[in-house]
Amino acid sequence: MTIIIKPSQLEESAKVGIKFRHAIHQHPEIGLYLPKTQEQIVNALNSFGLEDVHTFVGGDNVTGVVAVIRGNKPGRTIGLRADADALPLVEKTSVPWISQDKGRMHACGHDGHVGTLLALCHYISKHRDFAGTLVAIFQPGEEGFAGARFMLEDGLVEKFGIEEFYALHSDTTVPLGHVAFVHGYATANADVFKIIFKGKGGHGSRPQMARDPLVAACECVLALQSIVSRSVDPQKAAVVSVGCVNQETKTVLVSFRNNPLL
């Protein structure tokens, strides 16, 4: 039997999720070790009366949190995942729950992801009339720190018997109150690598006596743009972005993203 939950039934849980989202937003943390965020999440889960809560899933320095909620009927074990880390950005908003830690901000919406999953945990903890088991996963280190890999290598799937994973991502291009679905791949996988140019310094008036790595780096930036246009099947999607050029170290930071349906 399919259980349909109406928005009106989630109002109380939504308010709880919003409360914790604001609290997490005020104290953003970066990377794999998010002690304040982990504490907020665990406190929320405990306040819901949940007892099967696990911390540091992923290792001693990886603050992955997992909560297990079992339904009243046998069924599949489903993992729902929310990432919890922030970005190294200065927040320039005027919201009452603005970041209290300068240089850190939940700019990618992970506080909203955590709030959404906490809201669901709050509701499910009071309505166990479903078949199967919900495994709520709060993952640190999504922003380039391979948090998912650490949790998987720590036996996430085996320990909790997860059969399927689901996740969501906030998207400002989707109208408020709507949920968007994409057939196949929805977002791109990213690989980041550095290209270092080594040269020989000299005076600008005598370029023939120097080997200018800056010119070589600029040529490289332009050439990288031809990867997508000349080396990728036009039927597929790919993005190559040069995110940073550091003149002191002559380094170009490149992000390569590719999947069949971007």
Whole-number Cα distances in Å, 21 to 25, 27, 29, 203, 227: 6, 10, 13, 54, 40
User: How many C-beta atoms lie closer than 10 Å to residue 95's C-beta?
Assistant: 10
| Cβ-contact 66, 152 below 8 angstroms | no
Would you report the helix, strand and coil content of the chain in percent, each value rounded to 5?
30, 25, 45
- Tokens found for residue 22: 């604001």
The residue among 123, 152, 121 whose CA lies nearest residue 139 is 152
Which residue of the set 11, 29, 39, 83 is catalytic? Answer: 83
Which residue of the set 39, 101, 143, 212 is catalytic? Answer: 143
First vs last C-alpha separation in the chain: 35
Q: Measured in whole angstroms, how far is the alpha carbon of residue 129 from the centre of its chain? A: 31
Rg value, the chain, Cα: 23
CA distance 198 to 213: 6
Instruction: Provide the phi-psi class of 90: left if phi over 0, else alpha when psi is between -120 and 50, else beta.
Output: beta
Task: Give residue 126's identity as a one-letter amino acid code.
Answer: K
What are the helix and strand counts (H, E) for the chain?
7, 8
Q: Is 248 a catalytic residue?
A: no
Enzyme catalytic residues: 83, 143
